[in-house]
Amino acid sequence: MIYTVSDFVCVQYDWDRGLLRHRWNGVERFAGLSLFQSVHESLLDLALEHCATSWLVELSAAPLTVEDQLWLEQTWIPSLTRSAVRRLAVVADDAYNLMALEGLLPVGQAGLQRMLQFFADPTTALEWLTGSDAAAGELQHEWEVNVEPGMLTP
């Protein structure tokens, strides 16, 4: 199922598979830190409420500021590692975001290092998260059919 948390992010979930996925719609380039935090806190609450075990994060359109990185490191990542999420797939085709996220890992986040994989595309990430080519194809098809094309590009 797909629904929108706010005007800034699109979310897909499949609770039968324990899966949560989100991607910024692109307009966040004008948003402040409070929106970044608010959306990620809401998504984490959703993951906790439904005992999500896997999560696909698409960072392509989300520029990570220094403040974003500090907040992720100090608040969000520690909360995530205490959740039921055991597999976190990140698709970050933006070199800066990829470097920034990789830079957070050595800072004592051993729990995150064990659960995190980086991918070049969402279908491959979904295959890793679900363990099934068929499930990944089904989820990606649902995404492509239901998400407006303009929402998928930064």
pLDDT tens per residue, range 7-29: 778 899 999 999 999 987 655 54
What percentage of the chain exceeds 90 in pLDDT? 38
DSSP state of 30: G
What tens digit of pLDDT does each residue of 66-95 get? 888 888 888 988 898 889 999 999 887 777
Long-range interactions of 64-71: CB distance < 8 A, separation 24+: 64/96, 64/97, 64/100, 64/101, 65/33, 67/33, 68/33, 68/36, 69/100, 69/103, 69/104, 71/33, 71/36, 71/37
Amino acid occupying residue 58: E
Q: What domains sit in the chain, N to C, each tagged with a CATH number?
A: 2-151 (3.30.750.24)
Helix H segments across the chain? 33-49, 66-71, 77-81, 95-104, 110-115, 122-130, 133-146
Whole-number pLDDT of residue 15: 94
Predicted pLDDT of residue 146: 84
